[in-house]
Every structure is written in C-alpha cells, then in structure tokens.
Amino acid sequence: MHQRRGRTDDDAGANGDGDERVQLLRGRPANGSEVISTLAKRAWSSPRVKTGVGLWIVGLAFMTLMPALVVITPEMRSTYESIAVLTTEEIFTYDDALADLAAAEDVLYSSQVWFWRWRPEHKVIVDQNQAIVSAKQEIVAGLTAQRVARQNKANAYVGLWSEYGMSEMKAKFWSSFESGKVFAQRQSFWQMFHLMLTSREEYFLSIFVKWVGLALINFTLGLIGALFYYTYALFGMLFSYESLSLGGVTFFILSFLGGASIVATYLIGLYGITAGGFYVAGRVLVRGAALQYEREERQRRLLRERGQM
C-alpha cells in the first residue's frame, strides 16, 4: 500500500513537471507576429523608448506640420526685398568684377610658361599678373561681403521663425538628404559592379545578399553624414539670421530633431522593408523545400511499394 502510494506520488511529481513544461511551451510565442508583439510590449515599457518615440513624433511634426510663427505682412515683405534684393547697378558692378577677375586669371595662366620660376624675364611678368589677380580678388571679396551683409540684415529683420527661415531650413535639409542618398546610390552601384567581377564562383543569391547588406551600410553612412552637414548648415543659419538668443537655440534644436527624425524614419523603413523581404523570401524557400521533400518522399514510398509487389 505504502509502496504504491509512493509510486503514485512520484508519478504525480513527474506529471507536475510535465505540466509545467507544457505551460512553458504554451507560453512561448507561436509565430513571428507574437514574437514581435512581445518585444514591442517589452520595449514600450522602457521610459527611454517612450522618450525617444515622443521626440521622434515632435521632430516629424515640426518638419511637416509646423507653420511659420512670424507672419510676413506685405509691408515686411517689401522691406525685406528692399534690403536683400540688389539694384541693377549693383548686379552689373558685381558681374563686371567677376568678369575682370576671370580675364586677369586667364592672363596669369597664359604667362606661366615652362620653368617660369627659373626664368627671370617671365617671373617678373607672372608676378605682375599675380598682383593684378590679387587686386581683382579683393574687389570681388569686398562686393561679396557687402552682399552677404545685406542678406544677413534682411534675414535678421524677418527672423528664423518666419516663412523665409523655415523655407531655408527645409531646403538645406532636403538638399543634404538628397546628397546623402546620391552618395549611397553611387557607392552601391560600384560595389555591385565589383562583386559581379570578383565573385564569379558564388551563387547569385549570395552575391545579392552581400550587396543588400553593403547598400544598407552605404545608406546609413550617407544619411548620417548628411545629417552632420545639415547640422553645420543650421549653425550658419544662426549667424546669418543673427539669432543667437533663446529663440534661435530652440529653432536649432527643433530643426536638428526634425532632420534626425526624418533620417531615422527613412532608415527604419529601409531596414524594415529589407527584413520583411528576406522574411517572405525565406518562408517561400522553406515552403518550397518542404514541398520538394514531400514530393521526393512520396516517390520513394511508391518505389518501395512497387518493389514489394
């Protein structure tokens, strides 16, 4: 009686362990969607993730939905244009200075014959032409500085938060963004060309996977580099609009946050599409391999049955 009871207790313990294992197995996610859902819930429970998502939303809203806080009236627009727009005489003066500089540089280049540094008669001519070019360059630099000063004065009049400042900020970002994408596309093209030449013995699928990885790296580096260049351009805007106050610093932070949010959105989408494509391709390949295995197994079974007959 006691022995049977002991065995029963042991069996119950064994069954209990089995039940726990079954519960653990049942608690595991059954497919990829449940895995992603579980990871997303765990990530969302972190305060850092919530802060990052909040900053990302603020950045996207600033770049896409934020209107100009300073409304430009017709009087302000007229004043801005009167300060920034050059007169016809000033434009002709600047163009003539550029033309004189180009002509002086052509004369200087023509006078630099072979070994002119060691030929005194030619060295004298080159030095004279160089002095003329330097004088022309000073004239152009002075006119350019005047134009920049007038533009800075006009920018300071309307401010960073006007439609002029917002438009210039967005134009600088998209210009940097496109430059980063062009860099990535050019690098990816040449790397694909190199892989096709140096990987003749590999399968096309392995070459394609390598190229996709390199393309992702190129786009990541290109857009991060574009973000740094855009940040440098934002510093220049602070000085161009003569806005180093709290409003200017706020504009800089929000503009940088908006640019970083768009870059992050683009990269996350790029990585997500790539991962989704590989996932679907993997599922198709696995399904195809399973069907092929079942087909071959069915053929082997038929051959065994015919052999037995």
In the structure encoding, which two tokens stand for residue 214, read together? 């390199």
Residue 297 lies in a domain: yes
Final residue in a domain of this structure, among 100, 133, 158: 158
Show Cβ contacts of residue 263 under 8 Å, excluding neighbours closer than 6 positions: 177, 223, 224, 226, 227
Share of residues in the chain with pLDDT > 70 (%): 87
Residue 28 lies in a domain: no
* 50/306: higher pLDDT: 50
Handedness of CA 280, 286, 291, 292 (dihedral sign): positive
- pLDDT category at 55 given cuts 50, 70, 90 is very high
Judgement on whether residues 59 and 196 belong to the same structural domain of the protein: yes
Residue 228 lies in a domain: yes
Judgement on whether residues 140 and 193 belong to the same structural domain of the protein: no
Show Cβ contacts of residue 238 under 8 Å, excluding neighbours closer than 6 positions: 160, 244, 248, 251, 252
Fill in the DSSP letter of residue 161.
Answer: T
Torsion of CA 276, 278, 284, 290, to 10 degrees: -120
Residue 305: the pLDDT is 75
Final residue in a domain of this structure, among 158, 190, 215: 158
The model's pLDDT over 141-192, given as tens digits with 9 standing for 90+, comes to: 999 999 999 999 999 999 999 999 999 999 999 999 999 999 999 999 998 8
Judgement on whether residues 169 and 299 belong to the same structural domain of the protein: yes
Residue 31: the pLDDT is 57
Terminal Cα distance for the chain, rounded: 56
* In contact, 258 and 60? CB cutoff 8 Å: yes
The whole-angstrom separation of Cα 237 and Cα 64 is 20
Judgement on whether residues 244 and 294 belong to the same structural domain of the protein: yes
- pLDDT category at 42 given cuts 50, 70, 90 is confident
The model's pLDDT over 83-125, given as tens digits with 9 standing for 90+, comes to: 988 888 889 999 999 999 999 999 999 999 999 999 999 999 9
Judgement on whether residues 217 and 120 belong to the same structural domain of the protein: no
Residue 296: the pLDDT is 81
Closest by CA to 254, choosing from 170, 175, 189, is: 170
Average pLDDT, the chain: 85
Domain that holds residue 106: 77-158
Final residue in a domain of this structure, among 158, 186, 213: 158
Residue 285: the pLDDT is 79
The model's pLDDT over 195-230, given as tens digits with 9 standing for 90+, comes to: 887 776 667 777 888 889 999 999 999 999 999 999
* 31/124: higher pLDDT: 124
The whole-angstrom separation of Cα 230 and Cα 223 is 10
Judgement on whether residues 271 and 169 belong to the same structural domain of the protein: yes
Asked whether residue 6 carries a pLDDT value surpassing 80, the answer given is no
285 three-class SS: helix
Residue 180 lies in a domain: yes
Show Cβ contacts of residue 304 under 8 Å, excluding neighbours closer than 6 positions: none
Residue 33 lies in a domain: no
Residue 13 lies in a domain: no
The whole-angstrom separation of Cα 273 and Cα 96 is 54
Share of residues in the chain with pLDDT > 90 (%): 58
Residue 123, Cβ neighbours under 10 Å: how many? Answer: 15
Judgement on whether residues 137 and 187 belong to the same structural domain of the protein: no
* Counted domains in the chain: 2
* 36/103: higher pLDDT: 103
Q: In DSSP terms, which residues pair with 70 in a beta bridge? A: 162
Asked whether residue 18 carries a pLDDT value surpassing 80, the answer given is no
Residue 37 lies in a domain: no
Residue 14: the pLDDT is 44
Read off the pLDDT of each residue in 224-244 and give the average, rounded to a whole number. Answer: 93
241 three-class SS: coil
* In contact, 209 and 215? CB cutoff 8 Å: no
